[in-house]
Amino acid sequence: MPTKYPLALRILHWTMAVIILGMIWAGWTMVSLDDRVPAKFALFYPWHKSFGMLILILVLVRLATRLRASTPPLPEGLAAWEARTAKIGHTALYVLMVLVPCMGYAMSSSFTQSDGVFFFGVNLPELLPKNDARFAVFQALHRYLAYTLLSLVVLHVAGALKHRFLDKDRANDVLSRMT
């Protein structure tokens, strides 16, 4: 039975963690900028869209890899509620890592004044009809789901640090499985 996640999953985990945190910072920054600031639409929006699509691709690769890989079980010393919470939390993280970029794509695709959905300079097909009322729904969903994702990331990190530094049973250190 493995004691660590496979290297591919560890690399994907930490790469995605950095990108997701960067995306949240970029999202906050770009929406707070005045529309007259050239970087808002020339820099922040295209890069935010590109990295959002990259997250979607990476999470799909990660899910496919995880389905085929042998992963370590949760430590036996965890309380039943901790094990259940971990499973629910991980499932929610994966769902949100798919939904948040999908809602971002839906926003860009449906907004009547959108210049498209970019993926590092390549315009992706816009599969949704232009409709500003739907855009408003997708925009709200993208925002609330992104904040939910951020909240779960904070809980995920707090849980890992709690098991690393506060648990008396050192076998509960789940962080060592991902490093």
Of the listed ranges 54-58, 90-94, 142-146, 164-168, the least confidently predicted one is 164-168
Dihedral of CA 25/28/30/36: which sign? negative
Tokens of 39: 């970087």
Mean pLDDT, the chain, rounded, equals: 96
Predicted local confidence at residue 15, as pLDDT: 98
User: pLDDT exceeding 90 applies to what percent of the chain?
Assistant: 93
* pLDDT (mean) for 8-23: 97
What is the reported pLDDT for 115? Answer: 82
DSSP symbol at 75: P
d(CA 2, CA 62): 18
Start-to-end CA distance of the chain, whole Å, equals 17
Query: In the chain, which residue ranges form alpha helices assigned H by DSSP?
Result: 7-32, 38-39, 45-68, 80-110, 132-165
Q: Which range (53-57, 92-96, 112-116, 135-139) has the least confidence?
A: 112-116
- Confidence band for 1, pLDDT divided at 50, 70 and 90: confident
C-alpha distances in angstroms, 110 versus 102, 103, 138, 141?
12, 10, 9, 14
- What average pLDDT score do residues 4-13 get? 97
pLDDT single digits (tens) 64-98: 999 999 999 999 999 999 999 999 999 999 999 99
3-state secondary structure of 130: coil
Q: How far apart are CA 121 and CA 114, in angstroms?
A: 15
Structure token digits, residue 25 = 């910072």
Nearest to 90 by CA among 122, 132, 62: 62
**Amino acid 17: pLDDT:** 97
Spell out the domains of the chain, with CATH numbers in brackets. Answer: 7-177 (1.20.950)
Find, among 89, 49, 54, the residue nearest to 174 by Cα. Answer: 89
**pTM here?**
0.94
- Return the SS3 of 122: strand
Report residue 35 as tokens. Answer: 């529309």
Q: Can you say how many angstroms the Cα of residue 29 is from the centroid of all Cα atoms in its chain?
A: 18
How does pLDDT run across 92-126, given as a tens digit for each residue?
A: 999 999 999 999 999 999 999 988 888 999 999 99
